[in-house]
């Protein structure tokens, strides 16, 4: 009886968790997209000091933001658990799409931790922009890698969002 009660609870949690995973993935895709289409082009139009100063402040604001951290990690956890719950509920196709979303987000996490965060740390370590001797070089070193890699994160999270949307549709069809 205990395992059947647990299975019912897991089955009931599968849909809401899938919705939460989809929202979290959408928020991450949207954040990265906003940088691609507004933040980085806007900063690119300015001078080197403004660019470096603004990115240092943005990175610091994101770094210390608990809500961002919750969504950043929550997207991974919710998506992975949603895939597992879909599988446990016997919704194989929905599980596969959620697993694909998990894989795409894992790649985005690897890219973030392997490229974006080290670049952010280098930019912070460059120090006060008023004391940096070659702001143009610091800016170029950061932007030349960070901007295209962020576009990759946008694509990965958007792909994850599409996969989760498909999983939601399949989940809904399986619940009828």
Task: Give the pLDDT confidence of 23-34 residue by residue, as tens digits.
Answer: 999 999 999 999
In 35-134, where does DSSP find H-type helix?
40-44, 48-63, 66-88, 92-111, 117-125
Q: What is the pTM of this model?
A: 0.91
Q: What is the mean pLDDT of residues 127-152?
A: 97
DSSP assignments along 114-157, one per residue:
IIIHHHHHHHHHT--GGG-S-HHHHHHHHHHHHHHHHHHHHHHH
Task: Give the pLDDT confidence of 102-111 residue by residue, as tens digits.
Answer: 999 999 999 9
């Amino acid at each position: 009886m205990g395992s059947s009660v647990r299975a019912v609870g897991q089955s009931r949690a599968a849909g809401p968790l899938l919705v939460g995973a989809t929202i979290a993935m959408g928020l991450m895709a949207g954040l990265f997209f906003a940088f691609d289409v507004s933040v980085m082009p806007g900063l690119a139009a300015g001078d080197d000091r403004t660019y470096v100063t603004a990115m240092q402040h943005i990175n610091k604001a994101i770094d210390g933001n608990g809500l961002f951290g919750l969504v950043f990690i929550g997207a991974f956890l919710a998506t992975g658990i949603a895939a597992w719950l879909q599988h446990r509920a016997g919704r194989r196709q929905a599980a596969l799409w959620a697993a694909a979303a998990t894989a795409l987000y894992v790649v985005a996490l690897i890219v973030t931790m392997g490229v974006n965060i080290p670049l952010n740390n280098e930019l912070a370590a460059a120090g006060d922009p008023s004391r940096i001797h070659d702001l143009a070089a610091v800016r170029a070193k950061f932007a030349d890698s960070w901007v295209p890699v962020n576009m990759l994160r946008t694509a990965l999270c958007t792909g994850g969002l599409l996969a989760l949307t498909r999983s939601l549709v399949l989940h809904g069809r399986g619940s009828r």
